[in-house]
Amino acid sequence: QPDLVYYRDGISTTVSVERWGRHLALKNNGKVDASNGDDMPTQIMVSAYPLLLHPKGPKDLEVAIVGFGSGVTVGAALEFPVRHIDNMELEDAVVDAGLRFFSNVSHLERARERFPYVRHPRLTLFKDDGRNFLAAVDKTYDVIVSEPSNPWITGVSDLFTVDHFQVTKKKLKPGGVYCQWVQLYELSPENIKTVYRTFASQFQHVVAFAAEELSSDTILVGSDRPLPLDLAHIARAMEDPRVARELERAYVHAPADVWSRILFASRDELMRFTQTEWRRGQDGVFEEQMRATGGEACTPPSCKRAPVPLNTDDNMLIELRAPSDLIGFARYDGYLSTFYAESWPYGDLATHLAHVDGEADKRRMALSLLAHGRKRGAARFAERVQVEPSDREARIEARTIALLLHDGPDPVPELEPPIPSLPLDPELRGKFERFYAEGARAFDSGDYKLAAAALERLPEPYRTLSGPGLRFRYALALERSARDIARHKQAAAELEELIRRDETYTAAHPELFYFLARALYNARNYDKAVRDMRRYAATQTAD
């Protein structure tokens, strides 16, 4: 059970902070709204994306942010060279808790005993409802960021309506950018599409990002002027060392990493996605297709589509429908994977992204897309890559890309026989030799499932302490027979432990990194897979 380290009944919500070891979570009425753990990329990027995408770049922008939470979003924005930020927070206990417990991750220090608690020359806090403030304020902004709580909460749901977007759009300067956080969890596919379409209906240009790879948090950026999908534009912003350091905290190491998180590259893509699709079954009855993306052919009379309805103040669709999603979300288990499947039809960067002309940029885009699990997008850039033979670093990068993209023949490792380092009585030695022989025969014949099962019958200490050759064989049997992520993770753990424990064996068997990269990629640990495949590629690339 967590430790309750903060509790206060505010005027509009009960605010609490709970601690699990080093992990802290801020809750409103028992609902986690911020943390210093898994939420960090979302909290940082919800302010970073619109600042990076503003046509003028982030310098000297006037910014409004709805909600304070842990303070990380506000603090992240202040790491950019913006002119000023107005922040609205309805409940002052949220600011109190945020500054008490999250200052080490928000860059904001508690300087006062009463609201606004913080003193910063480029920040003004308002104790006010975000929607009311933006409707009434006599001021316009370059960027407006809305990161409220979940849309199934009454009051919060008002920040996801056509009416709200219409009012707040008037508070954007020409070329201004609006940013909206949208969750993919605890919402039905139809309600996710309704929120998306409601936002997209109000802006001429829209781009949608994942907060990080495989994230259930998405971030929509909208404007009535074109948004620069430009590698050089991001690179210029990241020349500021403070900006680069802040983005590193969200695992954005290079400009390519920003674009690798795109889910929708245009408003048109969002509008095509946000339709309900029905297909006629064999019994003649139309059935709704939950996983339809709008990217497939839909030919009448066997298929039909219709735009999802918009969320308005009058119909209150999300406020009234989303609570039932919260209760019955198990019906949509696995829907998140739709957005990260290889068949995902949107966000083709090879078509939309500008200034990817140099060979180095193409390689880095391909590597970044691989590090985000997007093989198809990586292949589009990789097919255009040409490498100078004299550039060893470029050859290593190109080889890394090729090894991860293509299922070519694996390197053939030399697997030494076991060398038990623990004493074996005659009976145990007989079992050991029998099980090993059974596993080795199955391995050599290609029956890796049987090989893994046989080797698992060896007592664990003898399997791990009988020489690296046996452990390598077992890890390979695990990986080659794996049918689920858990098994791939187990194989990766075995290989990582072998590499960590035996530097001499690893130096003689660089293919360990190849098979570790394969296991990690199959376990969806994409960035580490790229790192370890690069290690292997470096050993295979001559100076």
pLDDT digits (tens, 9 = 90+) for 34-90: 999 999 999 999 999 999 999 999 999 999 999 999 999 999 999 999 999 999 999
DSSP string, 222-290: EESS----BHHHHHHHTTSHHHHHHHHTTT--SHHHHHTTEEESSHHHHHHHSEEEEEE-TTS-EEE-T
Q: Helices (H), strands (E): how many in the chain?
A: 24, 15
Q: What is d(CA 456, CA 474) in angstroms, rounded to the nearest whole number?
A: 8
Average pLDDT, the chain: 93
Read out DSSP for 333-398? TTGGGGGGSTT-----HHHH-B---SHHHHHHHHHHHHHTT-HHHHHHHHTT----TT-HHHHHHH
Contacts of 490 (CB under 8 A, 6+ apart): 478, 482
Q: What pLDDT shows up at residue 153?
A: 79
Strand ranges, E, within 11-151: 14-20, 23-28, 31-35, 62-66, 84-88, 123-126, 141-146
C-beta of residue 440 within 8 angstroms of C-beta of residue 432: no
Condensed to tens digits (0 to 9), the pLDDT of residues 153-204 reads 777 888 999 999 999 999 999 999 999 999 999 899 999 999 999 999 999 9
Q: What is the pLDDT of residues 251-282, one digit of tens each?
A: 999 999 999 999 999 999 999 999 999 999 88
The pair of structure tokens assigned to 348 is 């083709």
pLDDT > 70 in the chain, percent: 100
- Give the whole-angstrom CA distance, residue 25 versus residue 31: 9
pLDDT at residue 150 in the model: 81
Residue 375 has what pLDDT?
A: 94
DSSP state for residue 118 in the 8-state scheme:
B
What pLDDT, on a 0 to 100 scale, did the predictor assign at position 69? 95
The pTM for the full model equals: 0.92
542 has a pLDDT exceeding 90: no
For residue 152, pLDDT beyond 90: no
Q: What mean pLDDT comes out for the span 345-363?
A: 91
pLDDT band, very low/low/confident/very high, at 358 (cuts 50, 70, 90): confident
The pLDDT value given to residue 419 = 82
C-alpha–C-alpha distance, residues 186 and 333, integer Å: 10
Tell me which of 143-152, 273-282, 509-518, 524-533 is least confident. 143-152
Given pLDDT bands bounded at 50, 70 and 90, which one contains residue 128? very high
How far is Cα 202 from Cα 218, in angstroms, rounded to an integer? 18
List, for residues 91-103, the tens digit of each pLDDT value. 999 999 999 999 9
3-class DSSP state for residue 53? Answer: helix
